[in-house]
Amino acid sequence: MKISRLMVNFTLTQCINFILNKNTSPTDFIIVTSNSVDILPNRPVARFEKGKAFTIPFGLKPDVLIFDNATVKEIQNVYYSLVNHRAHSATAKYIFIVDIFYSTLINFVTSNYLVNTIFIIMKTREIIALAPYEKYEFVHSYRKLLMKLGTCDNQSSFEHNFFPSKNYRNWTKRTITLLYSQTQLHSRCVKCKKPGISFEIMTLILKHLNILYRFLRLTSKNTNELMDRYDFKLGANVLTVQDLFEYTIPFDEEALYFYVARPLQIDRWRYILLVFSPSAWMYFVLSLLTAVAVFIVMKYINERLKNIDIIQFIFIIFLGRIKRYRTRFVSLEILVFCMVFMSVMLNYLFCSKLTYLLNGITFEEGVESFEDIANQGFSIGVTQKQDIEWVKMMPEFRNYTEKNFVYCKENLNCHFRTKRYRNFTFLWGHRMMPAFGETLIDRNTGIPFLKIIEPPFMTVKIVSSVRKGHPLLPILNENLEYLIESGLTKKIIEKYVKPQYDIPTLEPLESLKLRHFVAPFMILAVGLTASFLVFLMEIRNQKYSSRRPRRA
């Protein structure tokens, strides 16, 4: 369908209304995030102001969402509110994101899981959509996941058949742009022969049944259709355990980490000991003992020699001619020493590579070891390429990876950035995490691939407590017993998960070495320097006061 070339230099409102007029019905419900976009008259439209809480009537399902100059976070917040009110945005015919920066657009591509999103960049007047799902395996850059439909200046470049039909259940393979982040995380590692397999059963079923191409949101109706079509309950040849094993799903991450659910309770300081390595605690204890010892000696000398502390006594020995001076501010020196001690210790502990304290991270109750952290729902890992050598040095990572994998220097050019999406958190604090650039080789097969280190809970437990709003929730809930009885979960555990029950515990306390005294010596040196400076200031003040003429 070609569009008249007379429609040029469209405004934003005209551009949106043109698409709405050609591809929606007058009864379609529209949600707009601002007042800058005037929708065609006689259209049911709901608006809400940016920055305010967005509420939507229970069960209301908008057909079109229009975001005007919104951030990725704001868009996601609106999406969450729709999901929580059972108005899943997957039922929307399409979504407009208007007046968005190109950098934000790339950012959104790597983190969003909306359906058939259309971006309108007013600076360049480009109309962009996410590429269809099947194109992802052929790309090496997220920029190539964007597909230009046309511009608001020249509507003739549009193809009407790109937009979905009015019934979302009849969308074709090409028009569905449901990002794979709607499912469990995985990526397209193009050059990897066998990039690895995910342990999450729902992802295997989702991809194997081609649900991404056919179903946007499973309801009771299309779930039954799905079950009848694939004869899932009867275990037909279409869905066999062997088929699931042979079909592998690569990952988005090239980092080593435990991948578990997000914590619910905030009790940070209670389990601070777990995220401090024993070596770091050894530094802390030795430094504290050093400070206490110095304090006791200073106090003892001060009591014996009146107003002379140990530091001053040392300088009096070397500088006998100033022995007549006496200081009155010993408590000030002790206070300065303690302040320096605390500042140095905090800086040392929080900045040292021997400590992997991850800021802002909290733990649930019942966490006593790394195994508990994994089982309770935490992701502990490293994400910076320059820290790869450090990872190898950490026993809790080294022992685990060396048991199952071999490091090699070959770069497979699979550096897809990691996405962060709802109900999951990456503990290093970076939403866009760079990859290591190193490959893991399976010791058994010799095949290089990038593998996630996952705890054993990513099997039946994840199926029974799948995150809220997942499109496979109905089919998994209805067929969980069948999955268990058919032996599918058991075979997956035996083949992929059983070796991972050996989750490393906390690093054992290493023997006392000279490097453990670096921090105490450093603190002692800083304390001595501070005390000496205070001592010189006091002597200067005494000299100044002694020169003042006495009053008659």
pLDDT tens, 262-279?
222 223 333 344 444 455
pLDDT of residue 516: 58
pLDDT of residue 20: 75
Residue 473 reports pLDDT greater than 50:
no
pLDDT of residue 545: 61
Mean pLDDT of the region 459-473: 30
Give the distance, in angstroms, between the CA of residue 179 and the centroid of all CA atoms in the same chain: 17
Mean pLDDT of the region 287-306: 64
Per-residue CA distances from 147 to 117, 126, 156, 188, 528 (Å)? 11, 10, 16, 18, 65
pLDDT of residue 278: 53
Token couple for 339: 């302040």
Q: For residues 307 and 329, what is the distance between their CA atoms, to the nearest angstrom?
A: 8
pLDDT of residue 236: 27
pLDDT of residue 386: 32
pLDDT of residue 66: 76
Residue 399 reports pLDDT greater than 60:
no
pTM > 0.75: yes or no: no
* Tally of CA atoms within 13 A in the half-sphere of 358 that contains its CB: 17
Backbone angles phi, psi at 551, to 5 degrees: -80, 145
Beta strands in 116-237 (DSSP E): 117-121, 126-130, 146-151
Please tell me the least confidently modeled range out of 151-160, 444-453, 489-498: 444-453
Please say whether the beta carbons of 458 and 200 come within 8 A: yes
Pick the more confident residue, 425 or 358.
Answer: 358
Please tell me the least confidently modeled range out of 112-116, 226-230, 347-351, 410-414: 410-414
Per-residue CA distances from 469 to 80, 82, 87, 160, 283 (Å)? 10, 10, 10, 31, 46
What is the chain's mean pLDDT, rounded? Answer: 47
Q: What single letter denotes the amino acid at residue 471?
A: P
- Percent of the chain at pLDDT > 90 equals 0
pLDDT of residue 336: 59
Mean pLDDT of the region 360-379: 38
Mean pLDDT of the region 321-332: 48
pLDDT of residue 108: 55
Confidence of residue 77 (pLDDT cuts 50, 70, 90): low
Residue 74 reports pLDDT greater than 50:
yes
Confidence of residue 186 (pLDDT cuts 50, 70, 90): very low
Q: For residues 59 and 63, what is the distance between their CA atoms, to the nearest angstrom?
A: 13
- Per-residue model confidence as pLDDT tens digits over 447-456: 333 333 322 2
Token couple for 549: 């003429």
Mean pLDDT of the region 520-529: 68
Token couple for 543: 């000299």
pLDDT of residue 335: 58
Please say whether the beta carbons of 99 and 55 come within 8 A: no
Residue 45 reports pLDDT greater than 60:
yes
* H, E, C per residue of 323-382: CCCCCCCHHHHHHHHHHHHHHHHHHHHHHCCCCCCCCCCCCCCCCCCHHHHHHHCCCCEC
Q: For residues 487 and 244, what is the distance between their CA atoms, to the nearest angstrom?
A: 13
Residue 26 reports pLDDT greater than 70:
yes
- Number of helices and strands in the chain (H, E): 18, 10
pLDDT of residue 260: 24
Pick the more confident residue, 140 or 277.
Answer: 277
Mean pLDDT of the region 508-530: 63
Q: Residues with Cβ < 8 Å from 126, sequence gap 6 or more?
A: 119, 120, 148, 150, 151
